[in-house]
Chain A
Amino acid sequence: MVKNKIKAIIITLLLLIGVNLNAQDKNKKTNFHVKGNCEMCKSRIEKASLKLKGVKYVSWNIKTKELSLIMDENKCKVLDIKKAISAVGHDTDETEAEVKIYESLPECCKYRDPNSIYMDHGKSH
Chain B
Amino acid sequence: MRLLKTIFLSLFTSLVSGQINISGTVLGYNNDRKEILLSDVNIVWLNSTIGTSTNSAGEFSIPFKKEYGKIVISYVGYQSDTIVANRPNLGKIWLRPDKELEEVTVRKKLNPIQKSLFNIQNVVTVDSREMLKAACCNLSESFETNPTVDVNISDAITGAKQIQMLGLNSPYLLFTQENMPSIRGASQIYGLSFIPGSWIESIQITKGSGSVLNGFESISGQINSELVKPLSDKKLFFNTYANNYERYEVNTRYNYKFSENLGTGIYLHANLRNGSIDKNSDSFLDTPLSRQINFMNRWQFLDPEKGWVSFFNVQYLLDDKQTGQEDFSPKRDKFTNNYWGSEVNTDRFDVSAKLGYVFPELPYQSFGFQTAYSNHDQNSYYGFNLYDIQHKSFYSNFLFNSIIGSTQHKFKTGLSFNYDSFYETVNAENYDRNDNSVGVFFEYTYDNLEKLSFVAGIRMDSHNRLNTFITPRLHLRYALWKQSSLRFSIGRGKRAADIFAENQQLFASSRKINLLHNTGNVYSLKPEVAWNSGIGFIQKLFIANRAFDFSVDFNRIVFIDQVLIDWENPREVSFYNLKGKSFSNSLQIDLNYEIIQNLDIRATYKNNNVKLDYNSGSMTKPLQSNHRFFVNLNYETFKKYRERHWRMDLTVNWQGKQRLPNTSKNPPPYRLPKFSEAYSIVNSQLTRVLNEKFEIYLGGENITNTTQKNSILATEDPFGPYFDSTLLYKPVLGHTYYLGLRYKL
Q: Which residues from chain A sit less than 8 Å from chain B, CB to CB?
A: 27, 29, 47, 50-51, 55-59, 70, 107-108, 115-116, 118-120, 123-125
B428 located at the interface, meaning its Cβ lies under 8 Å from any Cβ of chain A in the complex: no
Query: Which of A29, A57, A124 sits near B364, CB closer than 8 Å?
Result: A57
- Known pairs A50-B449, A125-B116; A55 contacts B84 (CB<8 A): no
Query: Which of A57, A108, A116 sits near B406, CB closer than 8 Å?
Result: A57
Supply 16 further A-B pairs (C-beta < 8 A) apart from A55-B406, A57-B364: A27-B361, A50-B406, A56-B406, A57-B363, A57-B403, A59-B363, A108-B86, A115-B84, A118-B69, A118-B70, A118-B86, A119-B86, A123-B108, A125-B110, A125-B116, A125-B117
Query: Which of B70, B110, B363, B407 sits near A115, CB closer than 8 Å?
Result: B70
Which residues of chain B have C-beta atoms less than 8 A from A57's C-beta? 362-364, 403, 406-407
Query: CB within 8 Å of A: which of B104-139?
Result: 108, 110, 114, 116-118
Q: Which 7 A-B pairs have the closest CB atoms?
A: A120-B86, A119-B86, A47-B449, A118-B84, A56-B406, A120-B87, A57-B364
Taking a contact as CB atoms under 8 Å apart, the answer to whether A56 and B405 are in contact is yes
Using CB atoms, name the residue of chain A closest to B406: A56
Most chain B CB within 10 A, of A27, A56, A123, is at: A56
Chain B 400-417, CB within 8 Å of chain A: the 1/0 string?
000101111000000000
- Known pairs A27-B361, A50-B449, A59-B363; A125 contacts B114 (CB<8 A): yes
- A selection of 19 A-B contacts at a CB cut-off of 8 Å is A27-B362, A47-B449, A50-B407, A51-B449, A55-B406, A56-B406, A57-B363, A57-B364, A58-B407, A59-B363, A108-B86, A115-B69, A116-B69, A118-B84, A119-B69, A119-B86, A120-B108, A125-B110, A125-B114
In the bound complex, CA of A123 to CA of B48 (Å): 30
Query: Which of B84, B363, B403, B450 sits near A120, CB closer than 8 Å?
Result: B84
Query: CB within 8 Å of A: which of B74-113?
Result: 84, 86-87, 108, 110
Which residues of chain A have C-beta atoms less than 8 A from B407's C-beta? 50, 56-58
Query: Which of A70, A107, A125 sits near B118, CB closer than 8 Å?
Result: A125
Using CB atoms, name the residue of chain B closest to A121: B86
B34 located at the interface, meaning its Cβ lies under 8 Å from any Cβ of chain A in the complex: no
Nearest CB on A from B445, distance (A)? 14
Nearest CB on A from B626, distance (A)? 34
Taking a contact as CB atoms under 8 Å apart, the answer to whether B408 and A50 are in contact is yes
Using CB atoms, name the residue of chain A closest to B359: A27
Which residues of chain B have C-beta atoms less than 8 A from A116's C-beta? 69
Which residues of chain B have C-beta atoms less than 8 A from A27's C-beta? 361-362
B33 located at the interface, meaning its Cβ lies under 8 Å from any Cβ of chain A in the complex: no
Which residues of chain A have C-beta atoms less than 8 A from B2's C-beta? none
Chain B 297-333, CB within 8 Å of chain A: the 1/0 string?
0000000000000000000000000000000000000
B66 located at the interface, meaning its Cβ lies under 8 Å from any Cβ of chain A in the complex: yes
In the bound complex, CA of A123 to CA of B114 (Å): 12
Query: CB within 8 Å of A: which of B328-385?
Result: 361-364
Using CB atoms, name the residue of chain B closest to A108: B86
Which residues of chain B have C-beta atoms less than 8 A from A70's C-beta? 362-364
In the bound complex, CA of A58 to CA of B363 (Å): 10
Nearest CB on A from B106, distance (A)? 11
In the bound complex, CA of A118 to CA of B363 (Å): 31
Which residues of chain A have C-beta atoms less than 8 A from B66's C-beta? 107
Which residues of chain B have C-beta atoms less than 8 A from A115's C-beta? 69-70, 84
Pair count A-B, CB < 8 A: 52
In the bound complex, CA of A124 to CA of B540 (Å): 11
Using CB atoms, name the residue of chain B closest to A46: B449
In the bound complex, CA of A125 to CA of B485 (Å): 12
Nearest CB on B from A64, distance (A)? 16
Using CB atoms, name the residue of chain B closest to A43: B449
In the bound complex, CA of A118 to CA of B406 (Å): 33
Which residues of chain A have C-beta atoms less than 8 A from B405's C-beta? 56
Which residues of chain B have C-beta atoms less than 8 A from A119's C-beta? 69, 84, 86
In the bound complex, CA of A56 to CA of B363 (Å): 10
Q: Which residues from chain B sit less than 8 Å from chain A, CB to CB?
A: 66, 69-70, 84, 86-87, 108, 110, 114, 116-118, 361-364, 403, 405-408, 449-450
Which residues of chain A have C-beta atoms less than 8 A from B70's C-beta? 115, 118
Which residues of chain A have C-beta atoms less than 8 A from B69's C-beta? 115-116, 118-119
Using CB atoms, name the residue of chain B closest to A70: B362
Taking a contact as CB atoms under 8 Å apart, the answer to whether B86 and A56 are in contact is no
Taking a contact as CB atoms under 8 Å apart, the answer to whether B86 and A123 are in contact is no
In the bound complex, CA of A59 to CA of B407 (Å): 11
Using CB atoms, name the residue of chain A closest to B365: A57
Taking a contact as CB atoms under 8 Å apart, the answer to whether B118 and A124 are in contact is yes
Nearest CB on A from B540, distance (A)? 10
In the bound complex, CA of A50 to CA of B84 (Å): 34
Query: Which of A29, A50, A59, A108 sits near B361, CB closer than 8 Å?
Result: A29
Most chain B CB within 10 A, of A58, A59, A124, A125, is at: A125
Nearest CB on A from B408, distance (A)? 6
Nearest CB on A from B2, distance (A)? 32
Which residues of chain A have C-beta atoms less than 8 A from B362's C-beta? 27, 57, 70
Nearest CB on B from A112, distance (A)? 14
Nearest CB on B from A44, distance (A)? 10
Most chain B CB within 10 A, of A27, A55, A70, is at: A70
Which residues of chain B have C-beta atoms less than 8 A from A58's C-beta? 407
Nearest CB on B from A21, distance (A)? 18
Using CB atoms, name the residue of chain B closest to A110: B66
In the bound complex, CA of A118 to CA of B408 (Å): 32
Nearest CB on A from B608, distance (A)? 29
Using CB atoms, name the residue of chain B closest to A56: B406
Which residues of chain B have C-beta atoms less than 8 A from A118's C-beta? 69-70, 84, 86
In the bound complex, CA of A4 to CA of B179 (Å): 60
Which residues of chain A have C-beta atoms less than 8 A from B114's C-beta? 125
Using CB atoms, name the residue of chain A closest to B68: A115
Nearest CB on B from A76, distance (A)? 11
Using CB atoms, name the residue of chain B closest to A71: B406
Which residues of chain A have C-beta atoms less than 8 A from B450's C-beta? 47
Using CB atoms, name the residue of chain A closest to B363: A57
Taking a contact as CB atoms under 8 Å apart, the answer to whether B87 and A56 are in contact is no
Nearest CB on A from B223, distance (A)? 20
- Known pairs A50-B408, A107-B66, A125-B118; A56 contacts B403 (CB<8 A): yes
Nearest CB on A from B430, distance (A)? 52
In the bound complex, CA of A123 to CA of B70 (Å): 20
Taking a contact as CB atoms under 8 Å apart, the answer to whether B110 and A123 are in contact is yes
- Known pairs A50-B406, A118-B84; A56 contacts B364 (CB<8 A): yes
Nearest CB on A from B745, distance (A)? 29
Nearest CB on B from A57, distance (A)? 5
In the bound complex, CA of A114 to CA of B473 (Å): 48
In the bound complex, CA of A116 to CA of B449 (Å): 25
In the bound complex, CA of A108 to CA of B114 (Å): 24
Which residues of chain B have C-beta atoms less than 8 A from A59's C-beta? 363
In the bound complex, CA of A91 to CA of B742 (Å): 50
In the bound complex, CA of A70 to CA of B70 (Å): 40
In the bound complex, CA of A50 to CA of B408 (Å): 8
Nearest CB on A from B354, distance (A)? 24
In the bound complex, CA of A125 to CA of B118 (Å): 7
In the bound complex, CA of A14 to CA of B685 (Å): 75
In the bound complex, CA of A124 to CA of B114 (Å): 12
Nearest CB on A from B104, distance (A)? 15
Nearest CB on B from A5, distance (A)? 35
Which residues of chain B have C-beta atoms less than 8 A from A56's C-beta? 364, 403, 405-407
Which residues of chain B have C-beta atoms less than 8 A from A125's C-beta? 110, 114, 116-118
Which residues of chain B have C-beta atoms less than 8 A from A123's C-beta? 108, 110
